[in-house]
A and B are shown apart, each in its own frame.
Chain A
């Protein structure tokens, strides 16, 4: 019989660590990754030799990225693999680590996301299927087209869409790991430079380098290694889906998210009203509006009002992208999804400092990969 993650052995996030997301530099990926992993190990108060498997989420570094990095922690002989799932690579690495622990194959597993932007071409361009626009439509234009359609359908304004960047940059200004750590005004966002359609530069996420690590453990490991149970955050759903043909649907991106999130709610046995914190795929401002609706946090067409009402600010009903999101924290691809899970765990522990959402107990991390895939994790603080 099929089982959900929640029906398997409980899995907990016990350690989190990051290397700041930043503009491309000459820092080797090994340094980025080791910084995040060492921080996560120290956070869990365990030792590297306790880690039994490791998944490296990365899209651009190249083949066999794990061993050249992990060996410097002491080559213990653990199972390792690279995980590539476009923007959801780091989320998928977390999922693989969770599955190892949930199944009982390991008691302690590592998911690390690490990346540096590189010239590797994606496989979707190698199918020999051509369309009328080719590379003239890149992701920012894809989302500019969705923004145009959304604004026309619901009467939302360009200013309302741009407010997502104001909110998320305000949050990112308080995140030492964020690539953009500066609050911006609506006028600054709208002032440009224009990129595509109504999207301006600050409405598009920066793609840089960085790393994020998450250590997941079993109950046995918590007992055996003396891990602080009060800081361990349970993963109650881990769902991964890919796009179907949504005949008649207005928007495939939103539809894939709607399906994946619905499955995650079902598996975690929660309703959207219970969410206190959400990290979602806000690579472009319009996405946050589409996804808050697809997640059922508000009704269809109410996304813009939801953002501007303050309901998704830190301190509001559900803080969305308290980290700054992809728009401010940045989107180094491999690390992004892992970093989201780290932020949710930090929030549910109550350790997010000035970014803390009060009394956060239930959180969700959501990533979309251009593949097109969607990966969603639900994390909950044991009551």
Chain B
């Protein structure tokens, strides 16, 4: 990797109530996720104007789809992807904890959780979302 390559940025904090590591543009106020430090997509302010902004892992489900065909070995189909509009603004795409879309309703409350994964022998932690009623 070349020396000026930007290091991977942590996407979330692994607290009991995980937060997403968003960014906020000091110049225009634009709040976004995933984090990057190249420059503001909305106003063009350079990366040093992009400050960390923790986004609470809570929001409303805007869309979902159960994936039946997946070629990667990192995950076995079926699994379900959701679009969650965070209470703090941005919409994010995340894997849901439930494998299929059974019982899901657009508009319902969703909550972020940390999930331990073990794919191809590599342990990792992922941020996923689950329905708030099952999170209790």
Contact = CB atoms under 8 A, between A and B. Distances in A.
A195 B69 contact: yes
B95 A196 contact: no
B68 A196 contact: yes
Contacts of B41: 245
- Size range of the interface on B? 35 or more
B27 interface: no
Contact of B68 (A131, A132, A194): A194
A196 B65 CA distance: 6
B52 interface: no
Nearest to B105: A152
B127 interface: yes
A246 B89 CA distance: 14
A136 B5 contact: no
A133 B65 contact: no
B60 to A, nearest CB: 12
B63 A146 contact: yes
A145 B63 contact: yes
Nearest to A247: B42
A208 interface: no
A132 B5 contact: no
A121 B30 CA distance: 30
B70 interface: yes
Contact of A148 (B35, B38, B106): B106
B73 to A, nearest CB: 11
Contacts of A42: none
Contacts of B66: 196-197
A152 to B, nearest CB: 5
A241 to B, nearest CB: 16
B106 A132 contact: no
Contacts of A123: none
B11 interface: yes
Contacts of A135: 72, 74
A191 interface: no
A130 B8 contact: yes
B94 interface: yes
B74 A136 contact: yes
A129 interface: yes
B34 A131 contact: yes
Given A132-B95, A132-B127, A136-B95, A149 B72 contact: no
Given A141-B65, A148-B64, A133 B5 contact: no
Contacts of A197: 64-67, 101
A144 B65 contact: yes
Interface in A134-173: 134-137, 140-141, 144-149, 152
Contacts of A130: 8-9, 11, 34
Contacts of A141: 65, 67, 81
Given A136-B70, A146-B63, A197-B66, A129 B34 contact: yes
Interface in A105-137: 127-137
B95 A133 contact: yes
A130 B67 CA distance: 20
Contact of B65 (A127, A129, A145): A145
B92 interface: yes
B119 to A, nearest CB: 11
Interface string B106-129: 100000000000000000001110
A194 to B, nearest CB: 4
Contacts of A62: none
A193 interface: yes
A313 B64 CA distance: 31
A247 B28 CA distance: 13
A129 B36 contact: yes
A133 B69 contact: no
Contacts of A128: 5-8
A132 B69 contact: no
B97 to A, nearest CB: 13
Given A131-B34, A136-B67, 16 more contacts: A127-B38, A128-B7, A129-B9, A129-B34, A129-B38, A130-B11, A131-B33, A135-B72, A135-B74, A136-B79, A137-B93, A141-B81, A144-B67, A146-B63, A148-B63, A149-B106
User: 7 tightest A-B contacts by CB?
Assistant: A197-B65, A144-B65, A149-B63, A194-B68, A145-B63, A132-B94, A131-B34
15 contacts: A128-B6, A129-B34, A131-B92, A132-B34, A136-B75, A148-B63, A152-B106, A195-B68, A195-B69, A196-B68, A197-B65, A197-B66, A198-B65, A245-B30, A245-B42
